[in-house]
Amino acid sequence: MGCGTGILAIMASKMGASSVTAIDIDQQAIENTNENIFKNNAAGILAFKGDLEHIAGKSFDLILANINRNVLLEHLATYAACLTNNGKLLLSGFYAENDLNLITMEAQKNGLAQIGIKLENEWAAACFIKK
């Protein structure tokens, strides 16, 4: 979610993911992603312009979302519902000081347990697992 240039989708493909769904609300990001998929000869990646409609009702072992706090909070219930048991959710694009606690609480409300945090400068990334 929030594929940008597609770098994470390409990395997932190169690391062995059998299928990858890359989603962004920005058409330019989708075009960049498709160009980079081609340039990197990455297989099994589909890029879509849109939002949650492309994941709702589907199952994923891993969801990566690099979006701002408000969107992450709004989407967290859908992410949790789409994860398989023991599936992981990796979130980034938010601030450590004001956002991390809110995101962690929302994740816990949706049945996700925090298993890792990375802090760099004022930014945070957090990993959760569905139990």
In order of start, what are the domains of the chain with their CATH numbers?
Answer: 1-54 (no CATH), 58-131 (3.40.50.150)
- How many of the other CB atoms lie within 10 Å of CB of 20? 23
Calculate Rg over the CA atoms of the chain.
14
Mean pLDDT of the region 102-125: 97
Tokens found for residue 69: 């706090």
Q: Which tens digits make up the pLDDT trace of 52-80?
A: 999 999 999 999 999 999 999 999 999 99
Give CA–CA dist 15/80, Å, rounded. 23
The answer to whether the predicted template modeling score (pTM) of the entire model surpasses 0.85 is yes
Q: 52: which DSSP letter?
A: G
